[in-house]
Structure formats: C-alpha cells, structure tokens
Amino acid sequence: MFDNFVNLWHGFAVAGDPFNILLMVVGILLGVIIGVLPGLGGANGVAILLPLTFSMSPTSAIILLSCIYWGALFGGAITSVLFNIPGEPWSVATTFDGHPMARQGKAGEALTAAFTSSFVGAFVAILMITLVAPLVAAFALRFGPAEKFAVYFLAFCSFVGMSKEPPAKTIVSMMIGFALAAVGLDMVTGQLRLTFGSEELLNGFDFLIAVIGLFGIGEILLTMEEGLEFRGKSAKIDAKVVLRTWASLPRYWATSIRSCIIGCWMGITPAGATPASFMAYGIAKRVSKNGKNFGNGEIEGVVAPETAAHAAGTSALLPMLALGVPGSPTAAVLLGGLLIWGLQPGPMLFVEQKDFVWGLIASMYLGNVVGLIVVLTTVPLFAAILRIPFSIIAPVILVICAIGAYTVNNNVFDVVMMLVFGVLGYVLKKTNYPLAPLVLAIVLGDSAEEAFRQSLLSSGGSIGIFWSNPLVSTIMGLGLVAALYPMISNLLSRLRSPQPA
C-alpha cells in the first residue's frame, strides 16, 4: 500500500511537468469543444486526435487524450443546461432539471452545480482507482487464458443484462463487432479469413474508423433529422454565483455519495455513464424529500446524474488499466491508443510501466482540478460556439471526421469505410441497436478470441475449462447472472404481482 503512495507521488512529479499541465489545459479545452458540438463526442473525438499523439511520449499522449475525455464529460452539461440538447448521451438526465433552471434564469447555478458535482464524482472515482486498481491488477496477475476469457465474458454479459435495449439486439450488435474484428489475417494460423478476396480487407477493420463513422457521421445524420434549432439560454457565471452555489451544495451530500457509488459500480462493470446517470436521477427522485419538484428545476436533480455520470466515466478506466477490459467506448479508444504506443494494458502494466500508470493516475487528479477551473471560467465562450449555425459547423465536422479517418492509417479507403459505418450507425441507432458493445467487441475481439483459443488448446477442446476451478467458475457464473438479470428480476416481479395478460 505504502508503495503505491510513493509511486503516486512520483506520478505527480511526472504529471506536474509544465508541458504536461499545458497539455491538460489544451486537452480540457478541446474536450469541452468536442463535448458541446453535435457529432463529436468523447469516443470519436479521442479517435480523431489519436494520430496526432503518435509522436509524443506515451505519458504526455495519454494525459492529453484523457483530459479530452474529462473535457467532453464536462462539456455535455453545458449543452444540456443551456440548450436542452444533451451533447452526450450521459447528459440526457441533466436536461431534466438543468434546463428548467436555466429557463428560470438560474443557468449559472445549474452549471456550477453540474461542474462541481462532476468534479466530485470524478474525484471519488479516481480515489477508488488509486486504491483498488493496484489490488485488482495484482490479483489479475494470476489469471490464465481461461480467467481472461471469463473476464471478457463477464464484461459482455453485463452489456446484455444492463442495456435497456432488447438482449437479442445487444447480442447482434456485439457479435457484429466480433465478426468485424475477426476479418483479415488470423494471428494464430496465419490464414486469411472473411476477406473474400478483397485486398482492402487484408488488415481487417480498424476500430478507430468504426468509432469515427458510427458516432461522428451517424450523429450528424441524426441531428439533421431532428431539425437544427439551437435556441439557447445565455449563462453568466461570476464568483458570487459560484460561491453561493458551492455553499448550498453540501446539503446534498447524501445524494452525492449515493450517485458516486452508483457511478463507480456502473463504470467498472461496463454499463457505462449513461445508465448510471439515469439510475442516479431516478433514485434521487424517489428518495429525496424534494422529489416531487424534480423536473421543475431542482438543483438536486442536476447533482445526482452529473455526479454519477462522471464517477462512471472515470471509473471506466479502472478495468481498462488493471484488466485490459475498457468500461466504455472512450476507454476502449484509449486502450487502442495504448496498444498503438506499444503498451499492453492489463495487470503487467502496473509492474512494467509504473511511471506511465502512476503518471496517468496523478494526471487524473490534476486534470480534473484544471478542468473544473477551466470550465467555470470559459462557459460563455463555449455557449458562443453553440450559436454557430449548423450549416457551417456540420461540413466542418464532416471534414474533421474525414481527416481523422484518413490519418489513422494514411489510407484513403478508410474515408469511404467511415461513411459506410456512419450510415450503419444511423440505421442501427434508429432501430435501437446499442453501438457501444459493437465498438468494444471490435477492440477486444482479437484478445477475446486469443484467450478463448488458448484456453481450449490447453483443455484439448473441452468447454469444461471455463468451469475448471473456483475462480474461473465464479467469474463465468457472475457473467451468466449479469446477462440473465433482466429475466430473473422480471420473473421475481411477476411472481410477486400476478398481472392480467
């Protein structure tokens, strides 16, 4: 334990380097811009900027990229409160009470509450990462291929169980991801598969292209359909508003703690920030004594979802670092980045790349402090960006996406691929197929398959290897429970109250 604090202290020395602090500010600013613009979000924003970091040291690069992620998390709140347009899915719940507050002229209070509770949520999650990640990593060092596959199994099962979309749709979306990941050269046998003679498919599908297309182009098409009216409230944040709001926030400590716990839990199991924010909002509404007033501009209704969303978004990095299983699409993109820089995420990272891991964790502390200061001081600027008409911003975003897709592999074909993924993303989104499992499956497909095949090799082809010792059976069992959870809870509630058919 004491070791870790020494390491963390050392990490602060790395992250506190003036150049890295500058990167944090740049990252947060870029992230907030990405968060407020339609069509650019945490996942595809990081994916587009990833190629620009190839020339940096991995530590500086991950500081920049993770700060973009924090910025995007902060940015989602701005559009929700001022424009009633959630810039990111996880800030949908923030619109319920945030926008009514803005209509009552309390936009400053709503934003201060949102940013501050985001900060609190993230901070708690980082504390948890600091304390828990090394333990998880140390524990995971003992994992063999069967346990590794079981962890992937658990991750994907929680998607099936937690998703509000029908399970069959979640599975289809996930399996499409696995199939796309399998296209190209098979690393074990050296055979080509699923390419059907096409040369472009030799290297398979790059998940960065998929992310840029699915979330970027798809989102623009969706926005276009909704019509393009941004009629926003203006916000003025000055020190007086901030201090007054801060003074009122400690009253909601119980809501904060509850949301932090929900967020951390939902972030580690890859359910993600969006369901976490809804769940936290729903529970706060039920428990709070102001519950009836929720939806009419209750500050507690901003605190609850924002805290949970950030706690979830941040703790999604724990399984990515310690196990190599990302908890959210953006964490998946960051994991892809680690692989490109030649770092293998997972338990060995804590042993072999101490500087990198603790530099990153220290940068999370600093990045969130920097982020809070930056967003509180620059809100009017970002509100102004939102007033740029869509017919100007949309083509610029399209160009950015195209450049991003090209720079991943310096391949022009990828730009066309991105468009295909964009149309696919639009259609899947409209028919309620979740996109996050698809992306995670593309990223993890090769590792999951490798773990699966290695385990089967050692057992001579018997599926029984996944139930061969208590550890692996427990993880697999948890996975099954997670996947079947909706069915179990459905059954229980039906037993309790027989409904007329």
Partner 1 sequence: MSETSHGAGTGPTQRNAEIGVALLTLLFGLIVVYGSYIVGFGWGADGPQAGFFPFYVGIAICGCSLINLAQGLRENPADLFAEWSQLRQVLKVLVPTTIYCLMVEPLGIYLPSILLIAVFMKWLGKYSWPLTAAIAIGVPAAFYFVFEKWFLIPLPKGPVEALLGL
Q: State the Cα–Cα distance between residues 59 and 63, nearest whole angstrom.
A: 6
- By CB under 8 A, is residue 392 in contact with partner 1? yes
**Cβ 8 to partner 1, closest distance in Å?**
32
- By CB under 8 A, is residue 198 in contact with partner 1? no
Burial string for 60-99 (b: 16+ CB within 10 Å, else e) reads bbbbbbbbbbbbbbbbbbbbbbbbbbbbbbbbbbbbbbbb
Count of residues binding partner 1 (CB under 8 A)?
60
- Dihedral sign from CA coordinates of 330, 331, 334, 336: negative
Residue from 1, 3, 18, 196 binding partner 1 (CB under 8 A): 196
- By CB under 8 A, is residue 227 in contact with partner 1? yes
In 207-354, at which residue ranges do the beta strands (DSSP E only) sit?
Answer: none
- By CB under 8 A, is residue 191 in contact with partner 1? yes
What would the x/- binding string for partner 1 be over residues 456 to 495, using CB under 8 A? Answer: xx---x----------------------------------
- With residue 192 as reference, give the H or E element that holds it: strand 192-193
Sites for partner 1 among residues 32-51 (CB under 8 A) = 51
Q: State the Cα–Cα distance between residues 239 and 141, nearest whole angstrom.
A: 49
User: Who contacts 265 (Cβ-Cβ below 8 Å, separation ≥6)?
Assistant: 276
Question: Helix, strand, or coil here: 325?
Answer: coil
- Dihedral sign from CA coordinates of 244, 250, 255, 259: positive
- With residue 121 as reference, give the H or E element that holds it: helix 107-140
Residue from 25, 415, 471, 481 binding partner 1 (CB under 8 A): 415
- By CB under 8 A, is residue 138 in contact with partner 1? no
Contact in structure between 173 and 435 (CB atoms under 8 Å): yes
156 or 252, CB closer to partner 1? 156
- Give one word for 233, left, alpha or beta, with left for phi > 0 and alpha for psi -120 to 50: beta
31 or 404, CB closer to partner 1? 404
- By CB under 8 A, is residue 399 in contact with partner 1? yes
Residue from 21, 26, 127, 179 binding partner 1 (CB under 8 A): 179
- By CB under 8 A, is residue 499 in contact with partner 1? no
Residues that bind partner 1 (CB under 8 A): 51-52, 55, 166, 168-169, 171-172, 175-176, 178-179, 182, 186, 188-189, 191-194, 196, 217, 220-221, 224-225, 227, 389, 391-392, 394-396, 398-399, 402-403, 406-407, 410, 412-413, 415-416, 418-419, 422-423, 426-428, 430-431, 433, 449, 452-453, 456-457, 461
